[in-house]
Structure 1
Amino acid sequence: MPPLTWSALLTEWDLPVPAVILLGAIAAGYLVAAVRRPGWPWGRTGTFLAGIGLAVFAIGGAVNAYSDVLFSMHMAQHLLLIMVVPALLLLGRPFDLVQGRLRRAGRTLGVVTHPAVGFAGYTAVVVGTHLTPFLQHALISPLVHGIEELLYLGSGLLLLLPLVGVRPGRPPLSHLARLVVLFGAMVVDAVVGVVLMMTPSEPFPAYAAVVRDWGPGLVEDLHWGGAAMWVGGDALMAALAVFVIGRWMSAMDRGDDLGTWLESARRSALDLGEGTAVDDDEEALRSYNAMLARLAAREGGR
């Protein structure tokens, strides 16, 4: 490989034909469905197509070509495929275009898109492809390398599905729960990144076998990749957290999410009807006394 320059970053391409066909078919299917849906926002279409374009670049552009030469470029590809591309695709709301089919597969999708499944898959992929010999096999086998790319994209989609408010077959995840999942993913990125930064020697022989007289040394490049996972990964997660917090604030302004849940719990505890003003002191006091009377009657009947 020639030295990595801005020119090489734009001109080095090696597009895998199956991936291009698959991504092209997905983009075409989305466009057909969007055109058939009256009033579909073109901003969503643009966001989805941007995700497709970035996926093509990450899989067939210089990022992919140099990922076999520099671990730091592998990490750039990893972050693009596991976070940036899935976020763009999901913000395009593709599942809204196939709601009827999703309802028929609601129970299965409900299990697959559970946040615990997404988090477990994300953790397994991040740890398994960096702290085990898996990456070494991916560096010497095009087939394993392709599987690795699918794992990044798939685990990123499963992690982010409930976090951006898309949860086929299940009610939306609360915004607080979304932040908890994001924080857990940030911990995973930080731990793996720090482990790589503290590794004193090159753990992947395929990188040591590459002959080059340019760029960082092997261990320096490894540490750069670890820093990219820690800092870059957590920065992307933080950006998603800001997005979730913004959605949460909007939901609270509309009276949705946690505020509505707390209000319902309070009404249930006081046995108030929907038309009763909870903050009316006299009504609340009467309801409270009635609740104590019911509890006393239960105790007396035992």
Structure 2
Amino acid sequence: MGSLPAPGAGAAFTDWTFTPVADVLAVAVTLVYLLLVRHLRLSGTKWATGRIVSWCGAMATLVIALDSSIGVYSDSLFWVHMLQHLILIMVVPVLLVCAQPVRLLHLVRVAGGAADEPVRAGVARRVLTSPITAMVLYAAVLVGTHLTGFQEVMTTHAWVHDAETVLYLVSGYLLFGPLLGHERWPWQVPYLLRFGLLAVTMGVDTLVGVVLMLNEHALAPGFALSHPSWGPGALADQKTAGAIMWFGGDGLMMVLMVITAIEWGQIANENKGLGGWLEGIRMRELLGDEAMSIGDNADGEEVDLDQRALDAYNANLAALHRSGGEVTRGRPPV
């Protein structure tokens, strides 16, 4: 791609390419998402418009990252490639998490007659979706694709570039899934731990960015050979890419930390904070995961979760009594 002409003033509007598989998939999954929303609303269940906007925004951002001038010049300029990485591993996954596709699928199943049960995951799924596992994967992906010979391999194998795109999207989604928003997830992470995990993950962005900036030799000589004559030198290009990862990655992560801190501070019920984590688990066992988030689906409708928990607890006691079970005396009231 060294023969690419220098981008003009209107490159953002004129320099576009086409990524057939990704583009078709983006359109297809968007149609499926919208059809599921329509089906859910026809059943009488509300679905926030903001989530639809988040999904469409995620797909549009993905297409921009792959097809716009960012995608056109990403194989020739390392700093453009780094910008594409940040979009794929942070911006698109965050928008996907806000769109809550997993919760949408669950609600459609419930509307079709399936049982409304809490999230119950096997050992393998819990390990895969664990925030710690996701953080380790995120770190391994960033370090492995930037500070090893991965970029060199990518210059000679097109499929490696495609695999990298998938890896970035998956690792970003697994990281932000349990840390942002209210997606239906096997793990209910306390806000203090969310904040801490985001802070630790930000350190990975810093590490990769600083190493790229301080290195005095090109880490991917094959990538450097594709530089156009009008572009910066290979080393200057690499240092610019490092600066983008450092400041851009840390900046985006800081925004997410601020949003998390604000949401944490606005919680009216202390039971949703760190001190009430176990209480939240107890109420989810009584009410189910969807009941705990019904206020989020009801567009502001106020729900007394304590009363619902009391009713569910009393119903459980009545069922136990009818079945001949023995109720322990002196059990503290709900």
Q: TM-score range by the shorter chain?
A: 0.7 to 0.9
CA deviation digits over 1:217-268, x for unaligned, max 9?
Answer: 21111101001101100000000001111111122x222212435999xxxx
Matched, 1:45 2:52: yes
Matched, 1:71 2:86: no
SS in 1 for 2:7: coil
- For 1:221 and 1:62, the matched residues in 2 are separated by 17
SS in 2 for 1:236: helix
Overall identity of the aligned pairs, in %: 37
CA RMSD of aligned residues (A): 2.3
Using a 3 Å threshold, how does the CA distance of structure 1 residues 169 and 41 change in structure 2: closer, same or farther?
closer
TM-score if structure 2 supplies the norm length?
A: 0.74
Name the one with the larger helix percent. 1
Matched, 1:27 2:43: no
- For 2:273 and 2:90, the matched residues in 1 are separated by 25
Q: For residue 217 of structure 2, what is the aligned residue in structure 1?
A: 201
- For 2:207 and 2:141, the matched residues in 1 are separated by 14
**CA positional deviation for 1:67:** 1.0
Using a 3 Å threshold, how does the CA distance of structure 1 residues 65 and 132 change in structure 2: closer, same or farther?
same
Q: For residue 97 of structure 1, what is the aligned residue in structure 2?
A: 104
When the two structures are aligned, how many residues end up with a matched partner?
Answer: 264
Pairing 1:231-270 to 2, within 5 Å after superposition: 231-251=247-267, 253-255=268-270, 256-261=272-277
Q: Please, which of 149, 154, 166 is the counterpart of residue 133 of structure 1?
A: 149
TM-score if structure 1 supplies the norm length?
A: 0.81
- For 1:171 and 1:62, the matched residues in 2 are separated by 38
Structure 1 stretch 107-116 or stretch 55-64: which is displaced more? 107-116
Supply the AA of the counterpart residue of 1:117: T
Higher relative contact order (CA 8 A, sep 6+): 2
2:121, 2:186 within 8 Å by CA — same for their partners in 1? yes
2:16, 2:69 within 8 Å by CA — same for their partners in 1? yes
- For 1:141 and 1:261, the matched residues in 2 are separated by 47
Q: For residue 114 of structure 2, what is the aligned residue in structure 1?
A: none
- For 1:32 and 1:158, the matched residues in 2 are separated by 25
1:165, 1:173 within 8 Å by CA — same for their partners in 2? no
Gap runs ≥5 in structure 1: 265-273, 275-302
**CA positional deviation for 1:187:** 0.6
CA deviation digits over 1:70-106, x for unaligned, max 9?
Answer: 1100100000000001011111111111126796873
Using a 3 Å threshold, how does the CA distance of structure 1 residues 170 and 211 change in structure 2: closer, same or farther?
closer
Q: Please, which of 60, 67, 70 is the counterpart of residue 67 of structure 2?
A: 60
Structure 1 stretch 212-221 or stretch 111-120: which is displaced more? 212-221
